């Protein structure tokens, strides 16, 4: 959420930012919120003047009564009563206008970094760099669920009966591999100096509105019926919510956290054949990294975070690339974002396995997360990045480590989490 003063003083810049995001339908919101803000300030000025007049008249009443001038005192009382009635009207107007202003400010997109490439949608995202040499073996790589089935590692039929489509049972060595990846990612980030955390898996609506745009809430979040609770779509939601209404001492920043959680997402819309299996699902697990820092440090942390994910994937011999998100693919709260994509030997192309985002002070403004210290006071900046989300990580892992005989190689860093096995043999 932008600073209203900034919008008021830089309306043309805010509108240009909206145009670059191809959201022209929001342009009128800028003028509307400025007009509402002016009306609110005028209402507030009138209310303040009434309060001052009421206070002055109230003193007169006491003086007049002391002088025995009851009739004059009664006249003044009537004026005070009229002021009180008008003041109540003005205060209600202030509340109504304030709510409208807030609702609009929650919809106007955050200012993007100048380096963000301009494009309408994800098809215009820009490749930045590749890490590792993509390999296309001279033997066929089956679909990931077919690989899992050779290890008796997945049961989609039972999960469909129990929970419907978009869920799965992982079994045996595949389930163990899933947990091994999560455990390795956890320790990988702890070794980078991040504090490990397991957060609540449900959050209240004020936190949801603080960490996400309205569009994301509708398309992603599962609401708990009859309660003011939502299931988390990612642990970032819960972790940033941890700081709600906090004033953080500057000398304790940055806070660097790595968190584990299951994630629950609606995943609305039609998806292609390559997104069946465990690619796009309603429930999965993820290791996340979160940073809360001073504003001047956020871009430096942004570049550190995505590199951690690249390093982790490369440590497991999976080629990856980074893809700069263009303006039209950038969520409204984000200043800058990069996707990490892993190589798929079967598809002979890269696919998304994680995303790193700098949100500037957007979440901090919504949740009232401030810093105070030698630099003064202000809103912190927040960042998040996927360490690993094993369903998609598993797809990349299976395809890049499958041998011609159907066995899977286990890279050295992962072997301690897999009973020191270097190879997994298929069961069928």
The CA R_g of the chain, rounded to the nearest whole Å, is 28
Is the same domain home to 132 and 58? no
Are 208 and 221 a contacting pair, CB within 8 Å? yes
CB atoms near residue 67 (< 10 Å): 10
Are 181 and 393 a contacting pair, CB within 8 Å? yes
pLDDT reported for residue 268: 64
**Residue 228 resides in a domain:** yes
CA distance 125 to 120: 9
pLDDT reported for residue 276: 74
pLDDT at 125 over 60: yes
Range with lowest mean pLDDT among 175-189, 269-283, 298-312, 381-395 = 269-283
pLDDT reported for residue 64: 62
Residue 217 banded pLDDT, cuts 50, 70, 90? confident
**Residue 50 resides in a domain:** yes
pLDDT reported for residue 47: 85
Residues in the chain: 428
pLDDT at 117 over 60: yes
Is the same domain home to 229 and 254? yes
User: Model confidence over 330-377: pLDDT tens digits?
Assistant: 999 999 999 999 999 999 999 999 999 999 999 999 999 999 999 999
User: Model confidence over 245-302: pLDDT tens digits?
Assistant: 999 999 999 999 999 999 999 976 545 555 678 888 999 999 999 999 999 999 999 9
Is the same domain home to 305 and 199? yes
End-to-end CA distance of the chain: 54
pLDDT, average across residues 73-79: 68
pLDDT at 77 over 70: no
**Residue 111 resides in a domain:** no
pLDDT, average across residues 94-99: 93
pLDDT reported for residue 275: 62
Is the same domain home to 129 and 79? no
Q: Report the CATH number at residue 45.
A: 1.10.287.40
Q: Which of 73, 105, 137 is the last residue of a domain?
A: 105
pLDDT at 387 over 90: yes
Is the same domain home to 100 and 236? no
Q: What are the CA-CA distances from residue 385 to residues 204, 287, 288, 406 (Å)?
A: 22, 9, 6, 33
pLDDT reported for residue 279: 86
Q: Which of 79, 105, 131 is the last residue of a domain?
A: 105
Q: Which of 105, 130, 161 is the last residue of a domain?
A: 105
The total of structural domains in the chain comes to 2
| Residue among 62, 93, 94 nearest 77 (CA) | 62
pLDDT at 180 over 80: yes
Q: CA quadruple 53, 54, 55, 58: dihedral positive or negative?
A: positive
Is the same domain home to 97 and 164? no
Is the same domain home to 82 and 127? no
Is the same domain home to 98 and 129? no
Give the residue with greater pLDDT, 417 vs 280. 417
pLDDT reported for residue 61: 66
pLDDT at 397 over 60: yes
pLDDT at 44 over 70: yes
Residue 324 backbone dihedrals phi, psi, to 5 degrees: -75, 125
**Residue 59 resides in a domain:** yes
pLDDT reported for residue 75: 72
**Residue 113 resides in a domain:** no
**Residue 112 resides in a domain:** no
Q: Report the CATH number at residue 389.
A: 3.30.930.10
Is the same domain home to 61 and 174? no
**Residue 117 resides in a domain:** no
**Residue 116 resides in a domain:** no
**Domain coverage including residue 149:** 122-424
pLDDT reported for residue 269: 54
pLDDT reported for residue 343: 98
Is the same domain home to 53 and 155? no
Is the same domain home to 52 and 152? no
Is the same domain home to 152 and 215? yes
CA distance 306 to 424: 30
Range with lowest mean pLDDT among 45-49, 131-135, 186-190 = 45-49
């Amino acid at each position: 959420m932008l600073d209203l003063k900034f919008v008021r003083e830089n309306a043309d810049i805010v509108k240009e930012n909206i145009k670059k995001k191809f959201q022209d339908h929001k342009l009128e919101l800028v003028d509307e919120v400025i007009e509402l803000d002016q009306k609110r300030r005028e209402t507030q000025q009138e209310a303040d003047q009434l309060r001052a007049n009421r206070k002055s008249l109230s003193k007169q009443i006491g003086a007049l009564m002391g002088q025995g001038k009851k009739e004059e005192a009664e006249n003044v009382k009537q004026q005070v009563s009229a002021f009180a009635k008008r003041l109540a009207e003005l205060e209600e107007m202030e509340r109504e206008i304030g709510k409208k202003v807030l609702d609009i400010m929650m919809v106007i997109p955050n200012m993007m970094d100048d380096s963000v490439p301009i494009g309408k949608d994800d098809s215009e995202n820009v490749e930045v760099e590749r890490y590792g040499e993509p390999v296309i073996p001279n033997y066929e790589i089956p679909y990931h669920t077919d690989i899992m089935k050779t290890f008796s590692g997945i049961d989609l039929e039972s999960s469909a009966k129990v929970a419907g489509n978009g869920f799965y049972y992982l079994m045996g060595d595949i389930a163990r591999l899933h947990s091994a990846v999560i455990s390795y990612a956890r320790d990988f980030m702890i070794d980078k100096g991040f504090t490990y955390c397991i957060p609540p898996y449900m959050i209240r609506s004020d936190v949801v509105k603080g960490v996400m745009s309205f569009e994301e809430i509708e398309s992603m979040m599962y609401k708990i019926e009859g309660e003011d609770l939502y299931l988390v779509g990612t642990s970032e939601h819960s972790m940033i919510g941890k700081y709600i209404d906090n004033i953080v001492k500057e000398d304790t920043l940055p806070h660097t956290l790595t968190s584990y959680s299951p994630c629950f997402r609606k995943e609305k819309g039609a998806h292609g054949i390559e997104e069946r299996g465990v690619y796009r699902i309603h429930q999965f697990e993820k290791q996340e990294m979160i940073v809360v820092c001073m504003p001047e440090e956020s871009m430096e942390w942004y570049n550190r975070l995505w590199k951690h994910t690249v390093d982790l994937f490369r440590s497991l011999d999976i080629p990856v690339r980074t893809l700069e998100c263009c303006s039209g693919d950038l969520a409204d709260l984000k200043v800058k974002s990069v996707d990490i994509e892993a190589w798929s030997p079967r598809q002979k192309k890269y696919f998304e396995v994680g995303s790193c985002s700098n949100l500037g002070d957007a979440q901090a403004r919504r949740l009232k997360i401030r810093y105070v210290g030698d630099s003064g006071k202000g809103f912190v900046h927040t960042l998040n990045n996927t360490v690993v989300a094993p369903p998609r990580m598993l797809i990349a892992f299976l395809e890049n480590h499958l041998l011609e005989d159907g066995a899977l190689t286990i890279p050295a860093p992962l072997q301690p989490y897999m009973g020191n096995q270097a190879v997994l043999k298929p069961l069928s």
